Amino acid sequence: RRILRLGSHSQASARAPRPARAAKLVATAAVLAVPLVSWGLYGSLGSPDLPSQPLAERLAKNPAESSVDELVARAEAHLAANPSDGKGWDVLAPVYLRLQRYADAVTAYRNAIRLDGDSAVRQAGLGEAIANAAGGIVTAEAQGAFDAALQMAPQDRQAMIETMVASLDDRLKQNPRDEEGWMRLIRSYVVLGKADRARDALGRAVAVFGADSEQAKKITAFAASLGVTATE
């Protein structure tokens, strides 16, 4: 995720647009290929009860030589033939999320939960997919998934989540002109039940961009959809 963000900063893109785009493409392929290649090996080696010949045909090409689109297409073909493969849905769901195929991610997460059982990670992913499919608005359904994730998370996972949110807050202090970062931070504090911190983050974001800026108006509208308004 850090590599992808490095390729998305506007200042870096202005200085060197071609390398930034190239780096982003390479990073995206690397990030998405790892789980899909791993799942391909799982499909051929870890599930001896599945029909071997159709899967072997789908995996005839070396996964390392395939593009991200090819890997996803082959995974989708496998799941079309084996829709009860919960492991496959579990691997593909976050890939859909990173590719911004949010509706597909919602379906994949729900299938993974239905077939392989509930978990904090799957519920959190489902909540993020639902929210993104709704244009970044945390709907009641998305909030329910986030709440379920927090309820299932053990104490150490809760501490880990809070540490990750604090890390995002620190990064925004170093790189405050990250519009999407501020929205993620506000939403994270809301999910954690820290309304005061969410309002504080909104106030800092508005101060960074200026109250009359398009960025500040967008962040303010997003926060309002979560029930967060800036204090005076």
Whether the Cβ atoms of residue 181 and residue 175 lie closer than 8 Å to each other: yes
Continuous H helices in the chain: 2-6, 10-15, 17-41, 52-58, 68-81, 86-98, 102-116, 120-133, 140-152, 155-174, 179-191, 195-209, 214-225
User: How many Å apart are CA 223 and CA 104, to the nearest integer?
Assistant: 26
Q: What pLDDT score does 5 carry?
A: 65
Q: Could you report the per-residue pLDDT of 81-93, keeping only the tens digit for each? A: 999 999 999 999 9
Q: Could you report the per-residue pLDDT of 43-56, keeping only the tens digit for each? A: 544 544 544 444 44
Residue with more model confidence, 65 or 205: 205
**pLDDT tier for residue 126 given thresholds of 50, 70 and 90:** very high
